[in-house]
Chain A
Amino acid sequence: MSALLEVEQLEVGFGSRTSAVRGTSLTVERGETHCLVGESGCGKSVTALAIMNLLARGGYRRARRLSFQGNDLLKLDDRGMARLRGNAMAMIFQEPMTSLNPAYTVGSQMTEVLRRHKGASQRAATDRAADLLARVGITAPGLRLGQFPHQLSGGLRQRVMIAMALMCDPQLLIADEPTTALDVTVQAQILRLLAELQRDLGLGMLLITHDLGIVARVATRVSVMYAGEVVESAATAQLFADPKHPYTQGLLRCVPVPGKQRQDEPLGSIPGTVPRIDPGFEGCGFRERCTFADASCAHAVPQQTAAPGHDYLCRLAP
């Protein structure tokens, strides 16, 4: 059986000047959580949006392979994509404050997705919405369903977005920093809910997060992105135990005890900044900040395998 989501050599650009994602590959299996980490601007959100084909105007994507449950997403037109979106593949955006329509109630926005894809009655959809709101820890869900987004705090809106994405029992959930506005208890409750869904329904998840504590707790696999590339990818335990890429090592060094990291602590504090990547950029994107860099790093860098399922992009030997 093919994997739930397979992405091979994904490239995303905006206009002709910037390449936001350069040849990213990743796989999400049923029931597993694949975490995407990396510092701000490295292309995590853009990767997620490109998979859903929801890039902003002017953005374009290219890939050798982009398949969902064995179906080629690159061949689907708008209609075909619409049948999957919100239904079998759902996404939670990074911007909870602006992602709900200000003109409609929470209830109306939550129910329409179930009515559209499953032909549910308004009543059944409302019941389902209230149930999910309760499960993401919202008290008085009946009241919230009748409210408009501007009446809700950021944390509530974020939970509404999570509940809305779960309305149709998706197979794949792409969640872009879904718990940033939530306190630790609520965050734990939501992670538990998602874990339950993974166990019961085989939900596969692509989870973007800055929080290595969350990664250590929930990830099956981790891909580390830097300047538009996945520089290292491995099973979670393997990555934490034996990081190969200097950037990953830098990231992990900033987190002494995985799982005990403070909330919202920035991911790593490696000196320097991400270079601007224009089309035609060659060599390792990390070389200006890497303590191991030498002249050969300015040329194409090999992809190496440290162990089965543990790949990294660096000239250094395993």
Chain B
Amino acid sequence: MLNFLTRRLIVAFLVAATVMTLAFVLTRLSGDLATSIAGANATQADIEAIRKAYGLDRPVLTQFFDWVGRALTGDLGNSYFFQTRVSTLIAERMPVTLTLGVTGLVIALFVSIPLGILAAVREGTSFDRAVQMVALLGQAMPSFWLGLLLMITFGLQLGWLPISGTGSWQNFVMPGVVLAFSAIPALTRLTRAGMIQAMGSDYIRTARAKGLSRASILLKHALRNAAIPVVAIAAVQLGFMLGGSIVIEQVFALHGVGFLAWESIAKNDFPVVQAVVLVLAVIYVALTMVADLMNAVLDPRLRV
């Protein structure tokens, strides 16, 4: 178990280091930062002043290690535009994004696990085929388009749900559904495949030979094994959803981290962009670790 954790931590560290490097390099590939911060009408002197003020005149490697060193102590620098600490900005926006992501995941799980189980139990029936069709369609549907569709129907025509803002839980329903939609096809298919495999296994035959109830056979014995890959993918999907919230927060005007990233890209506020990428990446890495840990909890064979 300790070995397992150490291995995972090393991998997590490597991924974080790679992402930091990429985030740093990419923001600098978009051209000379001082020039774009200064704006179109700036003089050469203005640009030089900005370059000095933000420390952009130093060698790139110095800048990089300076940023990394500070990031490691939790200091993500200051935003050029908001004139506040980037960590404060992100901390303020994070609850919205996390609420959205978790809402999406919960909806996705509540839909796809029962759907996957039912499809597996009725393998080959028209119900099973219908589920697979819907999953296929869901995967092909762009999320901003689904978002707009929901907005028009439930927000504008029926007036059931607010179409923008973060005032109440109702604001999270539609964006949550849209995010969930991106995860439902994969989770449903995985649940279905896992259940079909489990139901055909020798240990399920044993469970039946023991005269256990249908609920116990399906939910205790089969689902427990089928859930192992689903849990892993669910955690990874939550990571995708947090990333995907960049689009959805824009569509529904939810002021979360995704929205912040969008604003900051538009304003060349590169410390913020760098930091958002880093934070999302760290969360993503943490989620994959959580997935591995939950795998180990669910699958005794992994607990070495």
Contact = CB atoms under 8 A, between A and B. Distances in A.
Contacts, number: 77
B123 to A, nearest CB: 9
Interface string B57-93: 0000000000000000000000000000000000000
A176 B301 CA distance: 27
B202 A93 contact: yes
Contacts of B208: 54, 82, 85
B228 to A, nearest CB: 8
A116 interface: yes
A197 B221 CA distance: 30
A99 B206 contact: yes
A54 B212 contact: no
A82 B203 contact: no
B201 A98 contact: yes
Interface string B189-213: 0000000000011110111111111
A103 B201 contact: no
A82 B212 contact: yes
A173 B280 CA distance: 58
Contacts of B300: 102-103, 148, 150
Contacts of B216: 112, 116
Given A54-B205, A56-B200, A93-B202, A102 B211 contact: no
Nearest to B209: A91
Interface in A135-186: 148, 150, 161, 164
Contacts of A57: 200
A54 B209 contact: yes
B223 to A, nearest CB: 10
Contacts of A112: 210, 212, 216
Contacts of A19: none
A204 interface: no
A101 interface: yes
B214 interface: yes
Nearest to A148: B300
B298 interface: yes
Contacts of A102: 203, 225, 299-301
A86 B209 contact: yes
B224 interface: yes
A8 interface: no
Q: Which of A56, A87, A112 has the most CB of B within 10 A?
A: A112
B196 to A, nearest CB: 10
Contact of A101 (B203, B209, B214, B298): B203
B225 A101 contact: yes
Given A148-B300, A148-B301, A150-B300, A99 B211 contact: no
A91 B205 CA distance: 10
By size class, the interface of chain B is: 20 to 34
Contacts of A116: 210-213, 216
Contact of A113 (B202, B211, B225): B211
A103 B209 contact: no
B203 A150 contact: no
Interface in A212-237: none
A100 B206 contact: yes
B209 A83 contact: no
A16 B205 CA distance: 23
A94 to B, nearest CB: 9
A289 interface: no
Interface in A39-86: 52, 54, 56-57, 78, 81-86
Interface centre among A56, A86, A87, A117 (most CB of B within 10 A): A86
Contacts of A131: none
A78 B209 contact: no
Interface in A10-55: 52, 54
Contacts of B214: 78, 82
A95 B208 CA distance: 15
A78 B210 CA distance: 12
Nearest to B228: A103
A251 interface: no
A111 to B, nearest CB: 11
B211 A83 contact: yes
A54 B221 CA distance: 16
B301 A86 contact: no
A112 B299 CA distance: 20
A314 interface: no
A74 to B, nearest CB: 17
A93 B213 contact: no
B143 to A, nearest CB: 35
A60 to B, nearest CB: 16
Given A82-B211, A101-B225, A113-B212, 8 more contacts: A86-B211, A98-B201, A100-B206, A101-B207, A102-B301, A103-B298, A116-B216, A148-B300
Minimum-distance CB pairs A-B, first 5: A86-B210, A85-B211, A86-B211, A98-B202, A101-B203
Interface of B: 200-203, 205-214, 216, 221, 224-225, 298-301
23 contacts: A56-B200, A81-B211, A82-B213, A83-B211, A86-B210, A86-B211, A87-B211, A90-B209, A93-B202, A93-B206, A98-B202, A101-B207, A101-B225, A102-B203, A102-B300, A103-B224, A103-B225, A103-B298, A103-B299, A113-B211, A116-B212, A116-B213, A117-B211
